[in-house]
Amino acid sequence: MTVLPVLTWGDPRLKKNSEDVGEWTPELEQLVADMLETSLYEEGVGLAAPQVGVNLNLAVIDCSCGEDLNQRIVLINPEITAEEGIQTGPEGCLSIPGVREVLDRPQKVTIRNRARDGSWHELTGEDLLARAFCHEIDHLRGRLFVEYFGPVKRQYLQRKYQKQSRG
Ligand SMILES: [Zn+2]
């Protein structure tokens, strides 16, 4: 398994709409393994394929940060089908290191997700998992979480991020 370089805020590849995953291949399995390794190494809860420069509707989530293999979820061509309630809490992104901001998300989220074999399943997540579903699916639509904020706050966050990334 390889830790992949993660694209950062400002890279135009993070703004693209991703394409659906077709037939599952050994290359995709390798990509998923590398993405899980990268997310773990960077201490993230999830990682979307566009963040490693792959323009596909594919993401990994592990709310246990490597503690529990059963919590590993591979999102393939996922779509949100239902949302319920609101949670308020901090959110961060491996593509924007050093920035964590409070963002409202639905408390409970249901998605329609494809399995490797092509079958479709419904998954429901609450709290952190619901937040992760929203965050990763946003990546697949070319959206970063900082884009929910207004221009003034976004500029402030950008300065904070640039300061941080210069060390
Ligand atoms: Zn992210």
Residues 92-120 have pLDDT tens digits of 999 999 899 999 999 999 999 999 999 99
Length of the chain in terms of residues written: 167
The answer to whether 27 is a known catalytic residue is: no
d(CA 76, CA 137): 10
C-alpha 26 – ligand 1 centre gap (Å): 25
In a domain, 26, yes or no: yes
Report if residue 5 sits inside a domain: no
Give the Cα separation of 153 and 164 in Å (integer): 16
Number of domains in the chain: 1
Residue 95, in any domain of the structure: yes
Residue 8 Cα to ligand 1 midpoint, Å, equals: 10
How far from chain centre, in Å, is Cα 146?
A: 13
85 found inside a domain: yes
Q: Within a 13 Å sphere around the CA of 111, how many CA atoms are in the beta-carbon half?
A: 25
**What CATH number does the domain containing 19 carry?**
3.90.45.10
pLDDT in tens, 57-89: 999 999 998 889 899 999 999 999 999 999 999
- Global pTM value: 0.96
Judged by DSSP in three states, 103 sits in strand
For residue 1, is it within any domain? no
Task: State which residues form the domain around 18.
Answer: 12-165
Ligand 1 mean position, distance from CA 110 (Å): 19
Residue 109 domain flag: yes
Does any domain span residue 4?
no
Among residues 19, 29, 136, 147, the one annotated as catalytic is 136
Structural domain contains residue 32: yes
What's the 93 CA to ligand 1 centre distance in angstroms?
4
Structure tokens at 23: 């037939």
In 67-107, beta strands by DSSP E: 72-76, 79-84, 87-92, 100-105
Q: What is the mean pLDDT of the chain?
A: 95
pLDDT value at 149 more than 80: yes
167 pLDDT above the threshold of 70: no
